[in-house]
């Protein structure tokens, strides 16, 4: 094999990952290439917009980038989830006056200033006096006075103009509908078939929602596809630990949380979700409205910069761009700005202290004890890289949970594992041939560290793996080696 052109390999120089949403402003292969070069580590395919043909073209373009830059890229398919909406109005809209009464009923006739149809029979009978109904992203706030099987009689705490098919949020009750609609099921099958690495599930309210999605993914042959639970409903917060347990990753969907909760409740809740995910060793993404003003402006507000910086200081695995990269006028600049903010934060001399302020005690297993030891050794001895050999990625997750100051080089024979790891804090994944002996492991670990810029002659490296090789969950070996430089004489991987 010809010697690789190392100038094309560009380790990001930061540990937090950037997830960029694809949309009309960024779907072309050229723009996707520019976003990747600007700093995107993973791409979100929003199944709420566009059709399967558009998504398939974007996925093909991303896989072409992988080959061009020799770097695994994660693709996250974000399912839309059920959408609750009111019916229609005479003339297309109505006005609900402040403090006035307003009724939602099952009559399909067009609505007026006093009533409208709510075409979701499952909501009737579950609503109780004192609960809220939020319409049009919370711009209209109704308080339930009476409710039965046919109508929900409310008082308008905040009125305003209401128009056809505006969305409805029900923050105070568990809505008895599944998280997966028929559209979601079709989109999930498409995502698995086209090689998505992560699937994000919307409208999660209970652990059973994740279990159902897992069964469906497996049924479509996507056993290796990772599942991400979007925490966007208060009901999910109440069952957070169980949902995390059944998920491979978590997304803090702050936009929807901010509709169903008071604005001041969201920041502490964000930290709670990030901390709970980190303790569990599951990657956590902070999403929505991070650089919102960059949809129209090339420069973010100072508040937005601080918002991104705080997520990085909290130790989130990834930060996400939504409309900024999908439909905004400055998609490339948005990614570059997020990259710049993250690098600046991570260069702060107090950054590591703040990230490690959260204690993540290891479980009582050999694998966790060794992962914890990697951080301890790297804090004590000058180490250029923690090199992890893994088939499933679980060892990489254990090491990343410790938030070591040293970069984590993940070597795996599985391209699927390498792509999933692209959303994991502090990691750089490389696909390489499997190993069969201790000597081969050490030699390959040294060679890959040198080849990918994680050390030089004289640097020390931690190698973490499991014996017997190729057995998932058998991490039981930690070795500290010194790079000599001669390892680069062998070029095949």
- Judged by DSSP in three states, 459 sits in coil
Is residue 44 part of the annotated active site? The answer reads: yes
The answer, yes or no, to whether the previous bond of 320 is cis (omega within 30 of 0) is: no
User: Catalytic: which of 230, 397, 416, 451?
Assistant: 230
If we measure between CA atoms, which residue out of 482, 478, 459 comes closest to residue 373? 478
Q: What is the DSSP letter of 4?
A: P
Q: With DSSP H G I counted as helix, E B as strand and the rest as coil, what are the percentages for the chain, rounded to 5?
A: 40, 25, 40
Q: Burial of 69 by CB count in 10 Å (0-12 exposed, 13-18 middle, 19+ buried)? A: middle
Please identify which residue in the block is written with the tokens 């929602």: 209
Distance CA 30, CA 51 (A): 20
Q: Which two structure tokens, joined as six digits, stand for 260?
A: 């169903």
Q: Which two structure tokens, joined as six digits, stand for 26?
A: 């960024």
Is residue 85 part of the annotated active site? The answer reads: yes
Distance CA 93, CA 369 (A): 62
- Judged by DSSP in three states, 12 sits in coil
Handedness of CA 33, 39, 44, 50 (dihedral sign): negative
Rounded to 5°, angle at Cα 489 from 485 and 491: 120
Dihedral of CA atoms 19, 23, 25, 31 in degrees, nearest 10, equals 60
Is residue 416 part of the annotated active site? The answer reads: no
Sheet holding 115-117, edge to edge: 115-117, 101-105, 151-158, 140-147, 132-135, 168-169
Whether the Cβ atoms of residue 198 and residue 317 lie closer than 8 Å to each other: no
If we measure between CA atoms, which residue out of 57, 45, 140, 73 comes closest to residue 102? 140
Please identify which residue in the block is written with the tokens 């072309």: 28
- Beta strands in 316-363, from DSSP E residues, in sequence order: 318-321
Give phi and psi for 277, each to the nearest 5.
-70, -40
Please identify which residue in the block is written with the tokens 């990691």: 427
User: Catalytic: which of 34, 83, 85, 93?
Assistant: 85
User: Catalytic: which of 14, 17, 44, 282?
Assistant: 44
User: Catalytic: which of 21, 88, 288, 387?
Assistant: 288
Active site residues: 44, 85, 230, 288
């Amino acid at each position: 094999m010809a010697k690789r052109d190392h100038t094309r390999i560009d380790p990001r120089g930061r540990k937090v990952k950037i997830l960029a949403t694809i949309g009309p402003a960024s779907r072309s292969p050229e723009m996707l290439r520019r976003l990747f070069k600007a700093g995107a580590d993973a791409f979100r395919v929003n199944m709420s917009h566009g059709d399967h043909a558009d998504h398939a073209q974007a996925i093909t373009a991303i896989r072409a980038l992988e080959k061009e830059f020799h770097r695994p890229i994660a693709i996250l398919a974000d399912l839309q989830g059920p959408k609750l909406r009111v019916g229609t109005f005479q003339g297309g809209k109505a006005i609900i006056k402040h403090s006035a009464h307003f009724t939602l009923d099952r009559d399909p006739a067009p609505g007026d200033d006093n009533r409208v149809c709510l075409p979701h029979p499952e909501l009737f009978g579950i609503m109780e006096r004192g609960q809220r109904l939020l319409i049009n992203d919370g711009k209209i706030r109704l308080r339930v006075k009476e409710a039965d099987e046919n109508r929900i009689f409310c008082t308008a705490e905040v009125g305003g103009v209401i128009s056809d098919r505006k969305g409805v949020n029900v923050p105070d009750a568990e809505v008895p509908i599944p998280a997966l609609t028929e559209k979601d099921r079709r989109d999930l099958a498409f995502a698995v078939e086209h090689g998505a690495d992560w699937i994000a599930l919307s409208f999660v309210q209970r652990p059973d929602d994740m279990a159902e999605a897992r069964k469906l993914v497996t049924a479509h042959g996507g056993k290796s596809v990772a599942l991400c639970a979007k925490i966007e409903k208060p009901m999910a917060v109440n069952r957070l630990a169980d949902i995390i347990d059944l998920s491979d990753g978590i997304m803090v969907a702050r936009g929807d949380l901010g509709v169903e909760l008071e604005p001041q409740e969201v920041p502490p809740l964000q930290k709670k979700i990030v901390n709970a995910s980190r303790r569990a060793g599951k990657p956590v993404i902070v999403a929505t409205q991070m650089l919102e003003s960059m949809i129209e402006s090339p420069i973010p507000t100072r508040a937005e910069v601080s918002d991104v910086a705080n997520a990085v200081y909290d130790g989130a695995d990834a930060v996400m761009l939504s409309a900024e990269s999908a439909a905004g006028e400055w998609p490339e600049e948005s990614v570059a700005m997020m990259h710049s903010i993250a690098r600046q934060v991570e260069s702060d001399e107090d950054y590591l202290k703040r990230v490690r302020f959260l204690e993540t005690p290891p479980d009582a297993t050999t694998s966790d004890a060794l992962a914890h030891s990697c951080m301890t050794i790297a804090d004590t001895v000058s180490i250029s890289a923690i090199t992890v050999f893994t088939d499933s990625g679980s060892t990489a997750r254990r090491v990343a949970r410790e938030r070591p100051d040293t970069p984590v080089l993940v070597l795996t024979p599985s391209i699927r594992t390498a792509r999933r790891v692209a959303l994991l804090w502090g990691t750089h994944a490389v696909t390489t041939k499997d190993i069969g002996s201790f000597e081969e492991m050490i030699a390959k670990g040294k060679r890959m560290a040198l080849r990918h810029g994680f050390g030089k002659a004289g640097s020390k490296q931690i190698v973490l793996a499991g014996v017997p090789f190729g057995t998932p969950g058998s991490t039981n070996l930690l070795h500290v080696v010194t790079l000599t430089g001669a390892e680069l004489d062998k070029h095949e991987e």
